[in-house]
Each structure stands twice: as structure tokens, then as C-alpha cells.
Amino acid sequence: MPTPIPPQLLATDPLVLAQDGVATVHQLMDLGCASSVITAHCRPPGPWRRLLPRVIALQATAPTPRQRLRGALLYAGPDALLTGPAALALYGVTSVPAPEVDVLVTHRAGPRGHSYVHVRPTIRPARRAAVTGLACAPLPRAVMDAIPYLDTENAVTTLLTEVTERGLCRRDDLMAEARDAQLPCVQKVMVMTRSAGEH
């Protein structure tokens, strides 16, 4: 049995601090906090709030963008990776808005999407890349997963141009990922932009 930790001290626990002030219900219970106490602390006016099902922000104030990302990873499970627009924002890409959060999971029994989180089961596992301390898909994969959010070929071209011209990603890596993702429209744009750059 773990030694109980007073609830007011849980916000300063090393695990909670490492997770940006966010923890799962199971993590809090493992730290000695009873489920009834968690429930009581999440009722208005706090001092905690439920960020997602089974995920708690140990504060009464609105979560920060980073806490929303951390919460999405905790909600989706230990193999979860941020991808799409949210991951691109962490990589420093500016040409794609990131209103919601896409999370890749490789297990079929993962949770369904909820609130701002889109859970994306995949049969193409991606290598884990730590970006500012958050688990992300590699940049080429994040780019391909962002493509469905873009409405026009011009928007696709703008994204691909940004990541290649800024040296964030190699063109060949994008082409390989486009082949794996079976996105011929991306391959077409890449060929067109390469041809334009050679003139």
C-alpha cells in the first residue's frame, strides 16, 4: 500500500509536476488519493477540475494549451503520440491551425475521441519523437496526418513548402511518408514544387 499523500500536496508531487500538473485518476490513486476525494476535489469550485474522462488537472483554473496536450496523451494511453496540426505546432510549423488534438494509438481497445481529442487508431506505428517533452509522431507523419484538415491544394503546397524550405524535414522523407500513407495528391504537389524550384 502506498503511503497516503495529503491531497493539497499532490499538485507538487514529482510525477504530477513532470506531467504539467495533470494526472490520471489511477495515478492519483496510486499516490494514495481516494477516488471519493478526487471526485470531491473536481466539483466546483475545485480545487481541481476534470480535463477529460479519467484525467484530472490539479488546479481550478482553465488548462493551458500544454496541459490540454498532456491530458490528451494521458487519456489515449501509454503508446499515444501527438500528430497532425497539434504536433506540427510543437515542431514550430505555423501554416496549419491546431484547433483540436489528434492522437495516434496502435491498440484497438483505446478510448474513443472525446471533447477536443481525436483518437486515431493506426496499423502503421510511428517512431516516438519527444518534442518539448511531449510524445509526438515524427514530423513527416505529422504532416501527412494534417493533410485532411487542409481544404485546398494551395494550403497543402504552403505546408510542404514551409517544412522543406525551413529545413524542418527532408523532401525525400515526405515523399516516402506520402507513399506509405497512400496520399497521391501530396506526391503530385511535391513533384510540382520540386520542378518549380529547379527552374
Q: Is the pLDDT of residue 196 over 50?
A: no
Q: Helix count (H) and strand count (E) of the chain?
A: 10, 8
Q: What are phi and psi of 28, to 5 degrees?
A: -65, -40
Q: What is the mean pLDDT of residues 72-96?
A: 95
CB atoms within 10 A of CB 166: 12
Between residues 189 and 58, the one the model is more confident about: 58
Continuous segment of H or E residues that includes residue 118 = strand 117-121
Q: Is the peptide bond before 45 cis (omega within 30 degrees of 0)?
A: yes
Q: What whole-number distance in Å separates Cα of residue 142 and Cα of residue 100?
A: 14
**Set of cell numbers at residue 160:** 510542404
* Cell 481550478 sits on residue: 60
Contact 134, 73 (CB under 8 A): yes
Q: What is the mean pLDDT of residues 38-53?
A: 93
At residue 133 the predicted structure's pLDDT band, cuts being 50, 70 and 90, is very high
Amino acid at 91: Y
Q: Given this model, what pLDDT does residue 188 score?
A: 60
At 184 the pLDDT is 62
pLDDT of residue 7: 72
Q: What is the pLDDT of residues 14-30, one digit of tens each?
A: 999 999 999 999 999 99
Of all residues in the chain, the percent with pLDDT exceeding 70 is: 87
34-56 mean pLDDT? 93
The string of DSSP codes covering 32-84 is T--HHHHHHHTSTT-S-EEEETTEEESSSSPPPHHHHHHHHHHHH-TT-EEEH
Average pLDDT, the chain: 88
* From 114-123, 152-161, 166-175, 189-198, the region with the lowest mean pLDDT: 189-198
